[in-house]
Structure 1
Amino acid sequence: MDLYDPLSRFLNFIITTLILFNVIPNSVLAIDDKYEKCSSRFRCGNMDIRYPFRGGNQSEYCGYPGFKVDSNSDVPQITILDRNYRVLKFDWDSKIVSVAIQDYWENN
């Protein structure tokens, strides 16, 4: 077989591809269990909350560090620099979160 023959190159490609797919472990191709657990949305009040935030019964490794949303009395709250904020709105398209200082919420 000539190495430059199109048929032999095609056969080499097929054999190499088959070997690679048999050598690559299934765990590399499988969906990560952490991804499955962290990709689910959770509900707080009337809001759907998702990554990069975490909350509900999601594990510590879900979401960005410091982006934990607490659902106290069906109102999403987030703590930033030791201050509690009430989440007013998640705008997922513009990636903007509107918040209000929780301490001032009842004393406008």
Structure 2
Amino acid sequence: MHLNFPPPLLFSVFIFFLSHHFPKSMSTDDVQFSNCNPSFQCRGLGKIEYPFWLDGHQPRHCGSPGFSLHCRNGEATIGIMHRKYRVIDINYNAQVLKIGTINNGSKGACPHPNATIDPSLMSYTSKVENATFLFDCWQYEDHPRSYGFTCEMDDLQRPSYFVVNTSLANELGSKCAERVVIPVLGTVAQALLNHSLDVDGL
């Protein structure tokens, strides 16, 4: 659905897609927007176009509120609902923004709080599904419809689960202290659940 415009490494590499009806670019003939095409590029993103604007390299009027990008050490980030995400790709023709979470903690740290977006700006594409991460569990139980792993809490490796099925998440969740719901690509979720992908392969 589109809205109109008005594990070691596990949590750092989960990618999800956001879709948005990008408005048409501002006219390049307009003098006000003549400085909106900077030569500066942030890694592989190419030219930053409307509704996005590159903070520190383009004036605010070059983009739309809520769509400012920051480039530091060659990595572009965007702030969504008070959280920073890594910008992996922008497809202007398909109107898809591909982002991933940023791992600010230790390599095997447990996940961040729930990831949410502002529905007035963007929506998830149909390729995304909600997954539940259960962590700080009392013990590990092998279950065919879950992916078990460990993550670090308070310097201890704690049993944890990745689950897509809500009823199973509730069942296993009774044995865990914390749960996080986060959007992930359906293909990644299924690859983890059928064990054709593990956290070392991400």
| Fold in common (TM above 0.5) | yes
Unaligned 5+ residue runs, structure 1? Answer: 1-30
Give the SS at the match of 2:33: helix
- 1:55-93: CA deviation from partner (whole Å, max 9, x where unpaired): 141112210111111001101100011100001111121
Partner residue, 1:80: 80
Letter of the 1:66 counterpart: G
Output the CA distance in 1 between the equivalents of 2:106 and 2:45. Answer: 21
RMSD: 2.2
Q: Which protein shows a greater Rg? A: 1
The answer to whether the Cα contact below 8 Å between 1:91 and 1:97 also exists between their aligned partners in 2 is: yes
CA distance in 1, matches of 2:44, 2:106: 20
Give deviations 1:5-55, integer Å, cap 9, x for gaps: xxxxxxxxxxxxxxxxxxxxxxxxxx42212122x1541012112111001
* TM-score, normalised with respect to structure 1: 0.61
* Distance (whole Å) between structure 1 residues aligned to residue 60 and residue 53 of structure 2: 8
Q: 1:106 to 1:67 in 2, by over 3 A?
A: farther
Q: What is residue 89 of structure 1 aligned with on the other side?
A: 89
Partner of residue 32 from structure 1, selected from 18, 30, 41: 30
User: What TM-score comes out, normalization by structure 2 length?
Assistant: 0.34
Higher percent of residues as helix: 1
- Preserved contact between residue 84 and residue 103 of structure 1 (Cα < 8 Å): no
What is residue 98 of structure 1 aligned with on the other side?
A: 98
CA separation of 1:58 and 1:86: change in aligned 2, threshold 3 A: same
